[in-house]
Structure 1
Amino acid sequence: MKISKRHLLNYSILIPYLLLSILGLIVVYSTTSATLIQEGKSALQLARNQGMFWGVSLVLIALIYKLKLGFLRNERLIFIVMFVEMILLALARLIGTPVNGAYGWISVGPVTIQPAEYLKIIIIWYLAHRFSKQQDEIAVYDFQVLTQNQWLPRAFNDWRFVLLVLIGSLGIFPDLGNATILVLVSLLMYTVSGIAYRWFSTILALLAGSSMLVLSVIRFVGVEKFSQIPVFGYVAKRFSAFFNPFNDLAGAGHQLANSYYAMVNGGWFGLGLGNSIEKRGYLPEAHTDFVFSIVIEEFGFVGASMILALLFFLILRIILVGIRAKDPFNSMVAIGVGGMILVQVFVNIGGISGLIPSTGVTFPFLSQGGNSLLVLSVAIAFVLNIDASEKRAKLIREYEGQTSVTL
């Protein structure tokens, strides 16, 4: 029985992806054009760059979708990708140009590579492959299978060691925003690995409790003393702004306070596309970290809510693919991708609204950043391939079942 993949394409995922990507190009142009014109540059410069990355993304989606799903399970390929990623991370720290006190970018002509972005899909891919091979043992021994001491001499086979190296490497940039996302995504992958469901609520409670404890300690000790720690000194002002942004409007609290102003300016229906006040030099990083504040200012809370609804619809459809998947590897990849996007949305909105300290995390699809869009597109391609493969397997099972009954 031969079934063409083009008939199995999940349009409930593809169409929202296309709409959000196109909307992202519009938002990038809106949030960057005024500043670029002031600098004497083309108003389309960053939007054009974003469009080029999207063009590459569409080609990758088509290629990945056509490939047989077995390529994702190739252990040698996973090892090669992780090895290349480690080299890129090292190069980003050694020869990269610092931005706002942090490293993490490699400039190759007009193109800038941010290796930390690619870690998101790599970790999901690696953990899904790693945990899917132990489903029989997990079913019997629960989480104990995944916490056995394997540090030496099989260090690379120990997923904890791999995560420690990959995520820990971001601390030398430092890039605590992406490190936070990766930790949360790793915890999500651990909880959907097949262990008992009760561990999800336990881990969630521990995570919330430890976060509150850390914030309480920082507040008690004082942000100034915390800033003396070499690696974390640059984020001290973010904690200061989190506690009260209006104490230092010209310094630490400048971004968050202007983010509040932007959201208040937007009201219910917004000032109109391109009419943001805050993006004209008042709100730094208006096109990246705080882009959703500008979206609220221009589209209003009604328009921003519709965008969020579309994004959450995409996330739910992706997670649904994982829930319906029969293969553990397929299930974990799809749920991991949906969880990754959801976590990134939560961390970004939490930062711009003051619910959590700002982490410098971009908003999916809308923020200017070709690497982020490329990673999201590859992740979507993985899910589309998985969904089509699961549908094909189901049709084959049904066909074989009907044939056996007929015979």
Structure 2
Amino acid sequence: MKIDKRHLLNYSILLPYLILSVLGLIVVYSTTSASLIQNGLNPFRSVINQAAFWVISLLAILFIYRLKLNFLKNSGVLTIMMMIEVVLLLIARFWTQEVNGAHGWIVIGPISFQPAEYLKVIMVWFLAFTFARRQQSIEIYDYQALTKRKWWPKQLSDLKDWRFYSLVLILLVAAQPDLGNATIIVLTAIVMYSVSGVGYRWFSALLTGIITLSAVFLGLINIVGVKTMSKVPVFGYVAKRFSAFFNPFKDVTDSGHQLANSYYAMSNGGWLGRGLGNSIEKRGYLPEAQTDFVFSIVIEELGLIGAGLILALIFFLILRILLVGVKAKNPFNSMIALGIGSMMLMQVFVNIGGISGLIPSTGVTFPFLSQGETVFLFCQ
């Protein structure tokens, strides 16, 4: 008996997605209209652009919805997508102009996009495809089923290990340099490895290792000094952000400018906020108010209560996606859902951690609310 796909729609995921998308358009207008008016431009310019890409995203959703699942399990299709992604990352790194210290954006006429954003989804797809095919071996050999080969190949014919491909792609993102997205990809990969069927003790070991290495790294920077560490290749780009992380008010006019004004924005908001559109910080005080630090403006305008409700809605959406993964009987379906849910959770954590000073700022955008066509398409 043929089942109508309409009966398989999960409205507990669809409705939060639609609500967050509309909220995103409202927030984009609120955070961009003032600067557009100051420059003599149409105040609706950014929100119209964002809405156009939302329509494209809806069409992409419809296309994916009508696809047969076997299409995603085709190794040839996945290989082609990964090769295209590698080419785009190389183009972004070596043949594009630097934007805010990085080479992550490709601009074609009026359209710009960030290949690293799409790599997040491709990595989830790749790891789900790889781990799902080894379920029987994992049940017998545990983690050894995923680590039989040596991760570093001695010859071209050995390029078959998922760790090698993952490492290459992550390094390409880090070389942009885009340490924020690289961190999200690494954390998502660790979660997917942990839910692939290996013993839970390996997740505990990985989590302990990450926390220990992070503490040692931050301690080393604090002892050696940010100026010394800034001489290290690639790290120079993020040196100021680490300086702001340790004390944003030490240099409010330079390294600590963004984080300090993020604090001011959240302080201005209080419990109930100043009202939608009434932010002070977005009027030239807080750089990247419409992208990296958009949630600071949301808190300033809607208050902790309003921002908390938005966070609750996003966490509900993520939880429902994760629940689909937990309940799925097919390993590939399960890991795709768990990977996407984990990736969104990591992005929210990294963004909120950055604007609040819990972790060094990484330039990661906030799902749904930040301005940017790539971010909006990624959230679909």
TM-score normalised by the chain length of structure 1 = 0.91
Matches within 5 A, 1:237-316: 237-316=240-319
The equivalent residue for 2:16 is 16
Once the two structures are superposed, residues 143-196 of structure 1 have per-residue CA deviations (whole angstroms, 9 ceiling, x without a partner) of: 112122243444432111101110101222111111111111111111111101
Question: What secondary structure, in the 3-state scheme, does the structure 2 residue paired with 1:107 have?
Answer: strand
* Distance across 2 between alignment mates of 1:110 and 1:300: 35
* Distance across 1 between alignment mates of 2:154 and 2:368: 41
Question: What secondary structure, in the 3-state scheme, does the structure 1 residue paired with 2:112 have?
Answer: strand
TM-aligned CA distance change 1:132 to 1:243, over 3 Å: same
Matched-pair identity in % = 63
* Distance across 1 between alignment mates of 2:8 and 2:188: 28
Deviation of 1:253 after TM superposition, in Å, equals 0.5
TM-aligned CA distance change 1:174 to 1:5, over 3 Å: same
- Residue 54 of structure 1 aligns to which amino acid in structure 2? W
The equivalent residue for 1:363 is 366
* Distance across 1 between alignment mates of 2:213 and 2:27: 36
Matched, 1:376 2:362: no
Once the two structures are superposed, residues 284-337 of structure 1 have per-residue CA deviations (whole angstroms, 9 ceiling, x without a partner) of: 000011000000000000000000010000000000000000011111100000
Question: What secondary structure, in the 3-state scheme, does the structure 1 residue paired with 2:238 have?
Answer: helix
2:337 pairs, out of 317, 334, 337, with 334
* Distance across 2 between alignment mates of 1:109 and 1:54: 19
The equivalent residue for 1:130 is 130
- Structure 1: unaligned runs, 5 residues or longer: 378-407
* Distance across 2 between alignment mates of 1:169 and 1:97: 17
The equivalent residue for 1:106 is 106
* Distance across 2 between alignment mates of 1:170 and 1:2: 43
The equivalent residue for 2:28 is 28
- Structure 2: unaligned runs, 5 residues or longer: none
- Residue 292 of structure 2 aligns to which amino acid in structure 1? D
* Distance across 1 between alignment mates of 2:70 and 2:4: 17
What is the count of residue pairs matched by the alignment? 377
- Residue 113 of structure 1 aligns to which amino acid in structure 2? F
The equivalent residue for 2:196 is 193
Equivalent residues of 1:155, 1:161 under 8 A apart: no
Deviation of 1:97 after TM superposition, in Å, equals 1.8
The equivalent residue for 1:179 is 182
| Bigger relative contact order, structure 1 or 2 (CA pairs below 8 A, ≥6 apart) | 1
Once the two structures are superposed, residues 72-116 of structure 1 have per-residue CA deviations (whole angstroms, 9 ceiling, x without a partner) of: 101100000001111111111222121111101111111002101
Equivalent residues of 1:120, 1:340 under 8 A apart: yes
The equivalent residue for 2:71 is 71
* Distance across 2 between alignment mates of 1:39 and 1:192: 50
TM-score normalised by the chain length of structure 2 = 0.98
* Distance across 2 between alignment mates of 1:26 and 1:304: 14
Once the two structures are superposed, residues 12-49 of structure 1 have per-residue CA deviations (whole angstroms, 9 ceiling, x without a partner) of: 00010010011001101100111111122211121111
Question: What secondary structure, in the 3-state scheme, does the structure 2 residue paired with 1:167 have?
Answer: helix
The equivalent residue for 1:396 is none
Once the two structures are superposed, residues 235-289 of structure 1 have per-residue CA deviations (whole angstroms, 9 ceiling, x without a partner) of: 0000000000000010100000000000000000000100000000000000011
The equivalent residue for 2:39 is 39
Deviation of 1:199 after TM superposition, in Å, equals 1.3
Runs of 4+ more than 6 Å apart: none
Equivalent residues of 1:296, 1:304 under 8 A apart: yes
- Residue 127 of structure 2 aligns to which amino acid in structure 1? L
